[in-house]
Amino acid sequence: MAYEKAAHLLGRMRMGENQYFSDYVHEYELRLLQCGGTNWSDRTKIIFLEIGINEPLGSLLLKNPPRTNNYKKWITSVKKMANQLEKMPLYRPRKCAGKKTWFIEHVEVEPQKIPRSTSTPGSISSSAIEKVKMGNLSSINMLREAIRRFYEC
């Protein structure tokens, strides 16, 4: 049961907006150890970690992704980018609140029926959008990009 809880938290784990990458990796690897994920493939560990990265660092990674699928080398490469970003005064202002890891809340969502007469293929009803809180668009785009890269390997 403890493994399941840790794995569930790992999937919902997100880096604070102004958190240092090294602090986030430390927490991530602790959760990884707790859920028995140390034996996962390097690519799987990278994907879980990458999904939770904050927007400023995530934007850098989209522009200049590390050219390796080795977990340790990937971490080293991202730490170099993160160190440059974290030196910028605007990244970590004195009274910033986003210094800690946070977790997406688990929300039960019931499937929505969309009447055929009012919907077009690929559309989402406004009521479905209101009921599902997905976070900001950049996080969704980062998730899509991580999934795309996973299937390219």
Residue 25: name the closest of 78, 64, 61, 70 by CA. 78
**3-state SS assignment for residue 12:** helix
pLDDT for 123: 45
Model pLDDT for residues 74-128, shown as the tens digit of each residue: 999 999 999 998 888 777 656 655 556 545 565 454 555 545 444 444 444 454 4
34 or 104: which leads in pLDDT: 34
Look up residue 53 and give its two tokens. 């990265």
**pLDDT > 70: what percent of the chain?**
57
For 103, which DSSP code? E
66 has pLDDT over 90: yes
CB-CB contact of 107 with 133 (8 Å)? yes
DSSP state string for 20-87: -HHHHHHHHHHHHHHTTGGGS-HHHHHHHHHHT--HHHHHHHHHS--S---HHHHHHHHHHHHHHHHT
Contact 3, 36 (CB under 8 A): yes
What is the reported pTM?
0.62
